[in-house]
Amino acid sequence: MQLWIIFTISAAFVQNLRFMLQRNLNHSGLTPTGATFGAPIAAILLFILLTNFDYPLPSTQTKFFLYCAMGGIAQILATILTIKIFEKRNFSIGIIFTKTEVIQTAIVGFLFLGESLSAYGALAILISFLGLIFLSRPKKLSNPTSISQYFNQTSLIGLGAGAFFGLSAVGYRAASLSLLDGNFIIRAATTLAFVTIFQATLMAFWLTISDRKEAYKTIILWRISGLVGIFGILGSYCWFMAFTLQNAAYVRAVGQIELVFTFIGSYFFFKEKHTKLEILGINLIIISLVILLSSLEF
């Protein structure tokens, strides 16, 4: 098995644990904007690689910082939207909505880069769209014949989260590849450190001017916030190494294995139940991902 696939599966597993912890943070009163706590850990990781493993710091250029900023901002927005979903629907359904990132990446690539879709890709998009319709259906319909009730705020938030996750993946891969030297280990660690430091600085500035109580609460809940930070850095480092080694769309496609981990957590830890239509929607999206994966050449 190729290294990037191992890194991707590991990242998906750790990211699912992180989202579970972030959900608990949300229930404890800490909002999504206060849950960023990974910059010191990423900086320590880079420091260890530089001082104990004789890795030289890669040479940077201006576009490296621009790509880091693009990916970092997109990830913050995607994470906020994902946790917002938890307030409207249950855990596994919320994560499912974000999985449209692969489909959206394919569409954006076609529109802006001229990358054509295969027949399998087009079929996957259609099946995924049908699945989203079933997932976005409110549990209680005042007018079952009204199509507008299938396209609600939850589906829009989920689609937005998926779009920002896709944008962040492309930004991170571009940033890592823009470094002028070094192997994938030090490139990924350098990119991760710069991105998380940028994110922490941005969030600290935002909380200072908008919600100082939230900033204080983040410090008070440092044990939980720190744990989220650790899982976040571990997952992100695996993602960044995978992005450095392989096309971001392929990495995100294989990362859909997170769905399996999500359902396990949803059933055993949150005791969540699903309607028949939700199960149908989930299965349709999983089928679309399988089709998409089968069309990729590894």
Q: Which uninterrupted H or E stretch holds 24?
A: helix 3-27
CA gap 274, 282 in Å, rounded:
10
Looking at residue 155, its pLDDT comes to 73
CA gap 289, 71 in Å, rounded:
24
If you compute the radius of gyration of the chain from its CA atoms, what whole number of angstroms results?
Answer: 19
Looking at residue 282, its pLDDT comes to 74
pLDDT tens per residue across span 146-193: 555 555 677 788 888 888 988 888 889 889 989 988 899 999 999 999
Q: How many CB atoms within 10 Å of residue 56? A: 9
Q: Which uninterrupted H or E stretch holds 207?
A: helix 184-210
Average pLDDT, consecutive stretches of 10 residues, N- to C-terminus, the chain (298 residues): 84 80 55 59 91 90 93 88 72 67 71 64 76 65 53 76 87 90 93 92 79 61 66 88 84 76 69 74 78 66
Looking at residue 50, its pLDDT comes to 93
- Give every CB contact of residue 80 below 8 A, 6+ residues apart in sequence: 32, 33
Virtual CA dihedral for 270, 236, 287, 141, nearest 10 degrees?
50
Q: Report the predicted TM-score, pTM, of the whole model to 2 decimal places.
A: 0.77
Q: In total, how many domains does the chain have?
A: 1
Q: Residue 41: which domain range?
A: 3-294
Looking at residue 219, its pLDDT comes to 60
Looking at residue 35, its pLDDT comes to 44
Looking at residue 18, its pLDDT comes to 74
Q: Which residue, chain included where needed, has tokens 């260890």?
A: 48
Helices (H), ranges, the chain = 3-27, 39-52, 62-86, 91-98, 101-113, 119-135, 153-178, 184-210, 212-220, 222-245, 248-254, 258-268, 276-294
Looking at residue 262, its pLDDT comes to 72
